Amino acid sequence: MTTSTISAGQSVDVAQANLLFAEYVNRAQPELIISDIKINQTAVALNSISAMANLAIDNEITPVFLKIHIENGQVSSGNDEYKNSRILADSGWPIVLPLYESDNQEYPLLVYRAFQKNERVLFDQIQDSYEGDTASLNQILPKVDEFHNAAGKAQVSSLVVTDSVEASRKAQLQIFFGRRLDVGSRADQWFTSERSFKLPGLDNPIEWNELKRKNWVVNGEKYGVTLGDVLEIARAELLFKNQTGRKSYLVSAHGDDHPGNIVSSFEDNSARVFDPAAAGLAPGSMANAKALAHTGLLPMSGMYYDPKIQAQYQLKGNDISVEYGFAATPVFKEHEALARQIIDSRFIPVFKSMKAAGADIQSEFATLKSALAMCALLTVDTAKLLEQPQTHKGIMLLPATLMFSQLSGLPSLDYLKQELAKI
């Protein structure tokens, strides 16, 4: 018997899972004629259960993608994914809209047209590039550029200023960062005093308690801040603590537009975003952090793919140094190009419009740096990744945290720092 581990963690028979899914769909939207439901088994989707199926519309069969959101082991409304897609589409974001949505509270369900053969998710194309085939990624780069351009314009035109910081605190994206930083959250679970990190080149694993106090030298460049400092600063910044008098500068944000949520079509020359579960108005300083972090530095640092480059760490007194050839990673040129697109089309226009609307731009920059740094530190469990033998996964995520916090150490980050300084 083949078994499948679905997101809730139980093992069930695949055929049985398909039947259960079909029954769920029937209860969610009995009027839809859906057949051939096959549940997707993917390690990537942690917050949803999905299936491929066929939908009959006017005697035509349309392949569809069915999606149910899961939150704390329960079905959830997906934070109004349907409503969010509409909001983003109306403000000008190129986005994949659902065909149907169940308004049944007990059985929420989203129905999308299935991606076709000529449509590829950007994450998968970057993955192919790590295996040596960068041609198709390079082919879609101009489409992705157009997408970021449209997204940036939509963001600028949606700018809303409110008189208190309360609106920033309540933004869905802030809540998302907050959940990772609050007491007892990921930050506390992954970075306990005795958690040890196996860094190549060091004789012994190093405990967080010691590591968090070290001074860093990355590729010969000194970072005058420790990992412990960066984490503490981020807690204050991203939870918007002690910020009385600060206003909110909000723009439309997808909230989770990493390459795994961008699809490009080779047919109609477009790239669009999907999965807008965390979308809505968000502080302009945080709105584009995930897009940049997960497209540039983090993949090169081994967050998802094996960058195939070894790093050498060294301890000397209270200093920890590391040498790593970012430029020799397999997709360096493309990652840098993708990062530049996001900087030019989204970061710079959004920060310019915030400044023009009266924002204290230095404090907005500080929020941005913390948001980027926390993408490096709190997306995946670095200590665990570093335990994996024979890969270079997670190899530069700790230094990436510092690089983001100082906007330094990569051409794209130096460029971002320089362009922000001109605003």
Ligand X SMILES: Nc1ncnc2c1ncn2[C@@H]1O[C@H](COP(=O)(O)OP(=O)(O)O)[C@@H](O)[C@H]1O
Closer CB to ligand X, 111 or 218, in the complex: 111
The binder of 4, among ligand X, Mg ion, none, by C-beta within 5 to 8 A per type, is none
- Measured in degrees and rounded to the nearest 5, phi and psi for residue 276 equal -90, 45
Whether 275 contacts 121, CB under 8 Å:
no
Q: Token digits for 126? A: 């970057």
CA distance 346 to 300: 21
Minimum Å gap between C-beta 106 and ligand X is: 20
Report in angstroms how near the CB of residue 300 gets to ligand X at its nearest: 21
Instruction: Report the residue number, 226 or 261, with the smaller CB distance to ligand X.
Output: 261
- Compute the least distance from the CB of residue 249 to Mg ion, in Å: 27
How far apart CA 165 and CA 283 sit, in angstroms, is: 10
Per CB under 6 A, 112 contacts ligand X: yes
The helix or strand, by DSSP H or E, that contains position 228, with its residue range, turns out to be: helix 227-238
Closer to Mg ion by Cβ: residue 101 or 275 = 275
Residue 290 C-beta: closest distance to ligand X, Å: 13
The one among 115, 190, 266, 415 contacting ligand X by CB under 6 A: 115
Looking only at residues 269 through 298 of this chain, which bind ligand X when binding is defined by CB under 6 A? 274-275, 277
CB of 273 to Mg ion, least distance (A): 10
Beta-ladder partners of 313: 322
First to last CA, the chain: 62
User: Whose Cβ is closer to ligand X: residue 45's or residue 361's?
Assistant: 45
DSSP-based three-state secondary structure for 155? helix
Q: How far is the CB of 304 from ligand X (least distance, A)?
A: 12
Residue showing the smallest CB distance to ligand X in the complex = 45
Residue 12 Cβ, how far from Mg ion at the closest point, in Å?
23
Output the DSSP codes for 347-407: IHHHHHHHHHTT--HHHHHHHHHHHHHHHHHHSS-HHHHTT-TT--TTTTHHHHHHHHHHT
Tell me, residue by residue from 252 to 271, as one string, x for binding to ligand X by CB under 6 A and - for no binding: --------xx----------
In sequence order, what DSSP letters do the residues of 46-88 get, joined into one string?
Answer: SSEEEEEEEEEETTEEEEEEEEEEEETTEEE-TTTHHHHHHHH
- Can you state the angle between helices 227-238 and 361-378, rounded to 10 degrees? 120
Q: Is 191 in the site for ligand X (CB under 6 A)?
A: no
Q: How far is the CB of 275 from Mg ion (least distance, A)?
A: 4
Q: In this complex, which beta carbon is closest to Mg ion, that of residue 126 or of residue 206? A: 126
Which positions from 264 through 323 interact with Mg ion, judged by CB under 5 A?
Answer: 275
Residues 209-268 interacting with Mg ion (rule: CB under 5 A): 261
Residues in 24-83 at the binding interface with ligand X, rule: CB under 6 A: 44-45, 47-48, 50, 65, 67
Joined tokens for residue 109: 């369900």
What one-character DSSP code corresponds to residue 259? G
Picked from Mg ion, ligand X, none, the partner binding residue 161 (CB below 5 to 8 A depending on kind) is none
Task: Compute the distance between CA of residue 199 and CA of residue 204 in angstroms, rounded to an integer.
Answer: 8
Residue 274 contact among Mg ion, ligand X, none, beta carbon within 5 to 8 Å by kind: ligand X
Contact at 8 Å (CB) between 329 and 300? Answer: yes
Count of residues that interact with ligand X, criterion CB under 6 A? 16
Residue 81 binds Mg ion (CB under 5 A):
no
Task: Pick between residue 125 and residue 248 the one whose CB is nearest to ligand X.
Answer: 125
d(C-alpha 349, C-alpha 214), whole Å: 36
Where along the sequence are the contacts to Mg ion (CB under 5 A)? 261, 275
Binding site for ligand X (CB under 6 A): 44-45, 47-48, 50, 65, 67, 112, 114-115, 121, 260-261, 274-275, 277
